[in-house]
Structure 1
């Protein structure tokens, strides 16, 4: 299904109708000619065609969108190709799940790092995809050709979907490419993206977690930063160069372009641009959506994950096996736990609510200035306000359901996957073949699930998060399993969890394996984890109905609101919100003043790593070999002119989730760093870009090369790259 209008609606323009800063904007590559003069004035030496060209090699051919086979167009991170053999860089936290999945207590790649000194040592990662953009095109007129103003939103959707599917099919007919049409400006524009999607992506290298996640949750979203946040992968193809699933016969990709790497370094005010696949920004969100985001989405996420992370962390510290099993889960949860809190702080400090209301006031004045405009746009904000008001309670309940139950204890949701098997077993006329297929599917799912599952930890998560959910959601609004807990266990959630995990066939891998060899309907029907999973699933369905009741008004209101803003600013170059499509942002290298009396320089060095070292804190442990290299000042050709080894640097470029791993490129088209974070003072940026504070935190490529070369001794990888001074 195509997303025509966002329900997680974005916060504001930051337009203020009169001033759009050059630093703000995630620009579509096919429209870069509008930005070219400004970029060249700032230091870009390339033409728009050098960046995006569908007929010749260009920078876009070196940019990789990381996704999954189930969601190849939803890119969770970005990578950049740095050799003519398909080698690409991304962030350590982007590769973290892959590194964790290959780790065991015997081969702890999280703690020790991983390096392939020969291509035969590279590790395959089933399910991960790497997309390279072939072309993009504005197809708004064709998509909207049969849309009429008097259509309902459902009728409008059907007309758009029919046209889009046809265009997608035509775009890739006779090729192995994949096409996807994406909505821009809440359904006011549509662009067709064509990709080549590769399915054989292998892990090549990653530093130890102590370096790749140096600073941990403490330093996350903070500056100064000293994190070596990178990992390396390689794309493989079939012998004919086309995408193919993993095979020993596959060969490294021969890319159309790879980025040369500059070790010249960066100076303040140097031009820098970032190309990548930003996930979601919400800069056109209204004050009504802002209130929901701050008071419900962010606050509930922060509160619930605080408890969840504490439970996981305590067990991870006690047992090395649990540490490995839950490393990726903890890191993923912690990232937006801190983000939510820091974003709320920034939004309050920057008085974003007042900015939103000012934009809305100006919009209404413009809309009501002429009768024809008033007829079309006059009710847009009222429609939006009513939709958010009507769904307030449902949104709160949905938020708690998703965070505390859907993403809490894992066993209930895994057990719920057996519902298909239950239906087959309870059928009046059973189908042995279908039952066997369902069993095999569950076995495959179980193998993945139990690898990173620890029963005592999951039991604690159930007891703690079920109780927190019950403390905040009325009994009649909860899944039906909570009625059982109230009536049979007197709301003693620890007692209930003890019973669940001591009796359920899903509580351990051994008990599941015994059950699945000869599954019985009566066992499933009486299993508490299965009942819990089913009841949570049904609650999702019920809450979705309540949440979607006002969707039509919300979608229409937002579409008209953003259309009006486009009309108001028709002489200006506006960027649509990020939606996981390839974008370019640009700015300059530079520090910033976060508060009175404080100024942050634009760079950090390895010296700061040593200053932060704390052997008693897992977040600030420094490997012995890194300390040895620092003591000897054995930095090779990667030191700056003063003899220091650079670590990270800042640019004032636009960035959001999905940009993680994006290349930072200088005016000559050379790689100078890898983007990996934003700064806490501007966590409002996804909603309201703050030009004086917004910074992108980047790993200096010289630190990356130093680690590959001096720390890991992976000369084979250095030899692949094109390194320029």
Structure 2
């Protein structure tokens, strides 16, 4: 039963804090504003409520979120969060993206290779230890010492605990460091996924749009020792219609926000980072669209990668629009000015922190100079090619495991090797044609942007051109074979160096280019920036305390809001869409074509069923699959998107337009029973 909670339209003013919109905030589980929520919404949330939600919320290794919704390990997430699993389980002759994955029995549920599910079990403050490790150091020495201590803490906490994962994360951009401990599940199986035509009805045209009509929902199941997990603490399921104005809490692991950046840093994002990101994405998108148009098989091969790139490209457009919005940026500037005024009024505080704003301003020229090489040679090396990524992981893992844990790159720390190994050795298909396009694109763009005269280009390309080199490496590699990858992983550095695989040899010869670009980046940009950011965090805590929330960091968070539409530029958008609206929007041509199963079920469906809804919760990428929970702790839907205007959420919450897009539990239940013949799952959810 759902409690109907309607809130007064008031904003809670917090003493000595910046003015927050009532729904603003991606709150950590150990600092959720219970009193503020209960006062605003008339709810009765308490610590027991939070504990139950925490232990039923999941972080997926795919970059998504999820929740446990039955006593037998059934997990709700988004269809787009299992897209790679669906494609890996498919063949060109049996494409589940076209038919849906509809196992008739539990025994037919199939494992998603390389996927891991994690449940947060504990949070511990380790700020003093991490801060002490970097005391008195600067530049890269500072980042290395801090990373080494974080790795040491992770190893200590998870030693001899193979079912756990430990991760030290920076919060408030260096203001706090917390050890997050997770219970991990490595056997995750697909239990249901709709066809792509239903899951992403409207395609890229409707992406980041509302009204929306997508069944972007899927079910996984957690297994242990070959049996479904016993999960008595699961969240309840409410298949009734959600109501406008009611409280919604979203629990998930949002990826990354940049709300605590200074104005000069935001200008660098606007002028340097986003333009390079968008230019390169658009070109790769064009190459993939051409490839996909050549045959049905090519369209199948490219579909998942193309969908991801289009999603990122459209998000980048929304973020860029925010950074040129004068009113929005004026608000950000006023936030910074408020903090600076408050610091300046406290002479002891001002003397202690110095001028971190000025120091960060001075670093932006180095950022602009070094970012392209760091982007192409390190952070985006390989251009998304799975074969290249496997090769680089095998080479770096072999080299890093030869070193003491304190001297490794942090992503190769002992506590992180288990998941890395599982993802590298997963028996998933890969497609040479797609890998060749990605590798060729990366090599050509690296040469173009860094220029032919850059001294790193000749070692990268040798005497070959990007097209010929990419074709040779992909044609000759054996890394598509999981057994070949396992032999190299298990054989360590000796096996890797002795390999005659051309892609392994290429990475052995060139991955140091990325290491060098990374080292210079850490020395001249990351280290000094993080040093200054620590003092900015100290200033924020001194002025505002912990009544503000940290930037998103892929750690579990809670956000709250209400079911509501919005008005913008003279247009009012209602908070719900319905099944009837789906059929009215259909044109009969892709991407607005009704899936055959839905056409066949039309007479069985209630056209007034509430399909998707808009909610004022504060979400971003990484919240995909997050459960939307009512005041009773019941799931009423799954978050799957936000609006185009809401992409400014990376830099700040705007209550006028920030809306999460959620597929309702009511719609999911009706689809299971009346469209897909998956009544056994509806029964498991406890639906009458």
The answer as to 2:51 corresponding to 1:64 is no
CA contact (8 A) 1:604 1:649 kept: yes
Query: Residue 702 of structure 1 corresponds to which residue in structure 2?
Result: 666
CA distance in 2: counterparts of 1:416 and 1:60, whole angstroms: 35
Which of 429, 447, 454 in structure 2 is aligned with 1:470? 447
Query: Residue 113 of structure 2 corresponds to which residue in structure 1?
Result: 126
The answer as to 2:73 corresponding to 1:86 is yes
The answer as to 2:430 corresponding to 1:452 is yes
CA contact (8 A) 1:479 1:538 kept: no
Following TM superposition, by how much is the alpha carbon of 1:548 offset from its aligned partner in structure 2, in angstroms? 1.6
Query: Residue 467 of structure 2 corresponds to which residue in structure 1?
Result: 497
Following TM superposition, by how much is the alpha carbon of 1:203 offset from its aligned partner in structure 2, in angstroms? 0.5
5 Å-filtered alignment, 1:282-681, equals 282-349=258-325, 351-401=327-377, 406-407=382-383, 451-455=429-433, 457-461=434-438, 466-477=443-454, 479-481=456-458, 497-498=467-468, 501=471, 506=476, 533=507, 537-550=511-524, 551-570=526-545, 573-595=547-569, 597-617=570-590, 619-630=591-602, 632=603, 634-635=604-605, 639=606, 643-681=607-645
Higher CA-based Rg: 1
CA contact (8 A) 1:459 1:498 kept: no
CA distance in 1: counterparts of 2:279 and 2:446, whole angstroms: 11
Residues 324-382 of structure 1 deviation map (CA, whole Å, 9 limit, x = unaligned):
33222222222211111111012322544433433333333333334422322222112
Following TM superposition, by how much is the alpha carbon of 1:662 offset from its aligned partner in structure 2, in angstroms? 0.6
Query: Residue 218 of structure 2 corresponds to which residue in structure 1?
Result: 231
Query: Residue 175 of structure 2 corresponds to which residue in structure 1?
Result: 188
Query: Residue 203 of structure 1 corresponds to which residue in structure 2?
Result: 190
Seen in structure 2, the aligned counterparts of structure 1 residues 542 and 148 have a Cα distance that, compared at 3 Å, is closer
Seen in structure 2, the aligned counterparts of structure 1 residues 412 and 198 have a Cα distance that, compared at 3 Å, is closer
Query: Residue 38 of structure 2 corresponds to which residue in structure 1?
Result: 39
Gaps of 5+ in 2: 1-13, 400-419, 489-494
Give the RMSD, CA atoms, in angstroms: 3.8
Query: Residue 71 of structure 1 corresponds to which residue in structure 2?
Result: none
CA distance in 2: counterparts of 1:18 and 1:446, whole angstroms: 48
CA distance in 2: counterparts of 1:273 and 1:644, whole angstroms: 24
CA contact (8 A) 1:290 1:353 kept: no
Q: For residue 80 of structure 2, give the secondary structure of its aligned residue in structure 1.
A: helix
CA distance in 1: counterparts of 2:426 and 2:435, whole angstroms: 17
CA distance in 2: counterparts of 1:217 and 1:341, whole angstroms: 13
CA contact (8 A) 1:17 1:359 kept: no
Seen in structure 2, the aligned counterparts of structure 1 residues 137 and 405 have a Cα distance that, compared at 3 Å, is closer
Query: Residue 30 of structure 1 corresponds to which residue in structure 2?
Result: 30
Seen in structure 2, the aligned counterparts of structure 1 residues 155 and 553 have a Cα distance that, compared at 3 Å, is closer
Bigger drift between 114-123 and 180-189 goes to 180-189
CA contact (8 A) 1:305 1:403 kept: no
Seen in structure 2, the aligned counterparts of structure 1 residues 502 and 150 have a Cα distance that, compared at 3 Å, is closer
CA contact (8 A) 2:130 2:149 kept: no
Seen in structure 2, the aligned counterparts of structure 1 residues 318 and 60 have a Cα distance that, compared at 3 Å, is same
Residues 218-245 of structure 1 deviation map (CA, whole Å, 9 limit, x = unaligned):
111111111111111100123xxxxxxx
CA contact (8 A) 2:564 2:574 kept: yes
CA distance in 2: counterparts of 1:270 and 1:88, whole angstroms: 24
CA contact (8 A) 1:384 1:557 kept: yes
CA distance in 1: counterparts of 2:479 and 2:448, whole angstroms: 32
Q: For residue 322 of structure 1, give the secondary structure of its aligned residue in structure 2.
A: helix
Following TM superposition, by how much is the alpha carbon of 1:647 offset from its aligned partner in structure 2, in angstroms? 1.3
Query: Residue 103 of structure 2 corresponds to which residue in structure 1?
Result: 116
CA contact (8 A) 1:168 1:181 kept: no
Q: What TM-score do you get using the length of structure 2 for normalisation? A: 0.83
Seen in structure 2, the aligned counterparts of structure 1 residues 544 and 144 have a Cα distance that, compared at 3 Å, is closer
CA contact (8 A) 1:169 1:179 kept: no
Query: Residue 689 of structure 1 corresponds to which residue in structure 2?
Result: 653
Seen in structure 2, the aligned counterparts of structure 1 residues 459 and 83 have a Cα distance that, compared at 3 Å, is closer
CA contact (8 A) 1:404 1:466 kept: no
Q: For residue 128 of structure 1, give the secondary structure of its aligned residue in structure 2.
A: coil
CA distance in 1: counterparts of 2:473 and 2:257, whole angstroms: 45
Following TM superposition, by how much is the alpha carbon of 1:251 offset from its aligned partner in structure 2, in angstroms? 1.4
CA contact (8 A) 1:124 1:200 kept: yes
CA distance in 1: counterparts of 2:497 and 2:142, whole angstroms: 43
Query: Residue 50 of structure 1 corresponds to which residue in structure 2?
Result: 49
Seen in structure 2, the aligned counterparts of structure 1 residues 357 and 301 have a Cα distance that, compared at 3 Å, is same
CA contact (8 A) 1:308 1:408 kept: no
CA contact (8 A) 1:422 1:521 kept: no
Query: Residue 3 of structure 1 corresponds to which residue in structure 2?
Result: none
Gaps of 5+ in 1: 1-13, 53-57, 68-74, 239-249, 424-440
CA distance in 2: counterparts of 1:15 and 1:327, whole angstroms: 51
Seen in structure 2, the aligned counterparts of structure 1 residues 559 and 312 have a Cα distance that, compared at 3 Å, is same
Seen in structure 2, the aligned counterparts of structure 1 residues 594 and 204 have a Cα distance that, compared at 3 Å, is same
Following TM superposition, by how much is the alpha carbon of 1:137 offset from its aligned partner in structure 2, in angstroms? 3.9
Seen in structure 2, the aligned counterparts of structure 1 residues 160 and 536 have a Cα distance that, compared at 3 Å, is closer
Bigger drift between 504-513 and 296-305 goes to 504-513
Seen in structure 2, the aligned counterparts of structure 1 residues 155 and 627 have a Cα distance that, compared at 3 Å, is closer
CA contact (8 A) 1:230 1:704 kept: yes
Which of 183, 199, 204 in structure 2 is aligned with 1:217? 204
Bigger drift between 105-114 and 399-408 goes to 399-408
Q: For residue 222 of structure 1, give the secondary structure of its aligned residue in structure 2.
A: coil
The answer as to 2:261 corresponding to 1:261 is no
Seen in structure 2, the aligned counterparts of structure 1 residues 524 and 130 have a Cα distance that, compared at 3 Å, is closer
Seen in structure 2, the aligned counterparts of structure 1 residues 410 and 598 have a Cα distance that, compared at 3 Å, is same
Following TM superposition, by how much is the alpha carbon of 1:480 offset from its aligned partner in structure 2, in angstroms? 3.1
Seen in structure 2, the aligned counterparts of structure 1 residues 123 and 548 have a Cα distance that, compared at 3 Å, is same
CA distance in 2: counterparts of 1:575 and 1:557, whole angstroms: 19
